[in-house]
Amino acid sequence: MRFPTNLLIRGCVLRRFRKLNANPSFRIEFVRLFSEQSWLSEPGNPIINWPSPVSHSIAAPDLDPHPPVSSNLISTEAEFSESEFTAICDLLRNPSVSPGAELEAALDESGIKPVNSLLEAVFENFDSSPKLLLTLFQWAEKQAGFRAERKLFNTVVNAVCKARDFDSAWMLVLKCLDGDEQQQPEVVLGDTFAIMIRRYCRAGVAKSAIRTYQFACTLGHVSDSVSNSNLFEILLDALCKEGLVKVASEYVKKRRAFETTWVPSIRIYNILLNGWFRSRKLKHAERLWAEMKEDGVKPSVVTYGTLVEGYCRMRRVEIANELVKEMRREGIEPNAVVYNPVVDALGEAGRFKEAMGMLERFLVTEPGPTLSTYNSLVKGFCKGNDLVGASKVLKMMISRGFIPTATTYNYFFRYFMKFRKVEEGMNLYTKMIHSGHTPDRLTYHQILKMLCEEERLALALQVSKEMRARGLDLDLATSTMLVHLLCKMHKFDDAFAETMDMFRRGVVPQYLTFLRLGEELKRQGMSDKLRELNEKMASVPHSTKLPDSFVEDKEASYARRSSIIKRANVMSDILKDCRDPRELMRRRGRASSKIENEEVGET
């Protein structure tokens, strides 16, 4: 189904919204949301000739919030039917069906025979619902003739680790390792432990990541499939990417002291270099680079690329250019890994003439610019609030055979979000889909954030439904934005229902969301819902951290505001009859001391 010229015309919205709106108290305000003119066009003179759809297999835009099946998820050679896929999706979406025994019973009643391809398709649609996926996987394992393949097993391990439910992940791994020895190599290999290591690092639990690596090294079949060095490099890379480069560096030193014959590979040096630069520790990075030279380690093109990118990240583009010259003297020809960071840094700094000059130089080299090169320029122009410049780069990349990706469009969405241009943003969303491109999770995050900030509730709900229909499950960020918007619009029943669904799917709400919703429920006298919310939150591990901007102590906040107002009034009185700067400073000092003494006396 094609989008109409005005995406949400009255009849279309009313028909669609009745399907997605479970609460009839919602009221829709019909407004003209989009203009017929493209945001990148002038009458009779389009700036951009949008590329044709990339593939005929890409689904056309569909406003149905619950399509029977996403056609790009099921191939014609699938081992299951669309009805089976839809039946499982409906069960997982049903807010009245809880994970565990209740969901397993419903799956038993469905009569569906699980196969790996069916579960993989479902998992792609519910990757942010770990509790539901774990129950589905455990149910499938109990069915006769079903044996999980490695890809499916790794998917469920990743899902539960993403929710920081590492106990469930270990339960799955150890159960598999304790089972049929002949099947161990087929399911639990190094890539499973690589997933767990990366998730531990992302959670900031470095010790657990190291223990996981050490445990994996004790398994013979894991060492056979993924060498010790590769898994070690994955551990270091994960630590460095999550800002734990100091831990990674210390672990390398310990290994060198323990294994005197072991010499770090160039890949390990590159990983540590990248880690120090990512952490903006320039002295540590330069010290490591000097150590490499002293030890006679021959740098590779990746090493120089890491150095160039690091200096560019630190806004030292001139040093990066000197490194490019140095690597040429060493007989190493720069490639996209080296050039792209320079173009990106020049664009970030607003030095567009130099960035375009670098692009022209890049054109005459053998590899030439890549998609990332053009994306860096688009990002730079959008960040510099130059939409025309970004549009020209987009036109240039299309004319040279590069098809824009979701990443390319996301830079435009960031611009529209920054300047609260809802109409232009939604026009781009429509054109993006008409051109055959699929929005990614970041696209929807930015669109939903923009709509929530502008309090466009009906449209935000519609976009969230389209997000799910395109195989992207609502994650913590999107659900949080919707709950906060529902509270802001005084839709407390719906905010409560969305929060309960988060718990059901295994997504723990942020503590700030819990407090805000709890306060509103208490204010509205919804004691039963407040009790249920408190019980749910108490039943799951959660952080009690709050943003620095959130002040829970209202009395302290009131006192601070009163003090500011009092000081402002005193200064206003002083300025009425004093023009001498020195006298003004003396009077202000005396007045401030007097106010402070009064405040101390009050406390």
State pLDDT tens for residues 407-462: 999 999 999 999 999 999 999 999 888 888 889 999 999 999 999 999 999 999 99
User: Which pLDDT score is estimated for 43?
Assistant: 43
Tell me the percentage of the chain whose pLDDT exceeds 90.
Answer: 55
Tell me the percentage of the chain whose pLDDT exceeds 70.
Answer: 77
Residue 174 burial class via C-beta count within 10 angstroms: exposed 0-12, middle 13-18, buried 19 and up: exposed
User: Which pLDDT score is estimated for 295?
Assistant: 85
User: For the whole prediction, is pTM greater than 0.75?
Assistant: no
Task: Enumerate the β-bridge partners of residue 46.
Answer: 41
* Whole-angstrom distance, CA of residue 240 vs CA of residue 144: 44
* Whole-angstrom distance, CA of residue 552 vs CA of residue 536: 22
State pLDDT tens for residues 523-573: 999 999 999 999 999 998 888 877 655 544 444 555 666 667 777 777 777
User: Which pLDDT score is estimated for 598?
Assistant: 61
Sign of CA dihedral 116, 120, 121, 126: positive
* Whole-angstrom distance, CA of residue 312 vs CA of residue 304: 12
Coarse DSSP helix, strand, coil percentages of the chain, rounded to the nearest 5 percent: 65, 0, 35
Phi and psi based region of residue 62 (left: phi greater than 0; alpha: psi -120 to 50; beta: remaining): beta
Q: How large is the average pLDDT for residues 199-223?
A: 90
| Nearest residue to 492 via CA among 23, 97, 13 | 23
Q: How large is the average pLDDT for residues 466-471?
A: 90
User: Which pLDDT score is estimated for 192?
Assistant: 93
State pLDDT tens for residues 481-500: 999 999 999 999 999 999 99
User: Which pLDDT score is estimated for 567?
Assistant: 73
Over 50: is that where the pLDDT of 66 sits? no
Max avg pLDDT among 46-60, 323-337, 365-379, 502-516: 502-516
Q: Which residue has the tokens 């044996």?
A: 147
> What's the token pair of residue 133?
């996926």
State pLDDT tens for residues 173-190: 999 888 765 544 568 888
> What's the token pair of residue 496?
């409560």
Q: How far is CA 90 from its chain centroid? A: 26
Q: Locate the domains of the chain by residue range.
A: 483-544, 557-602
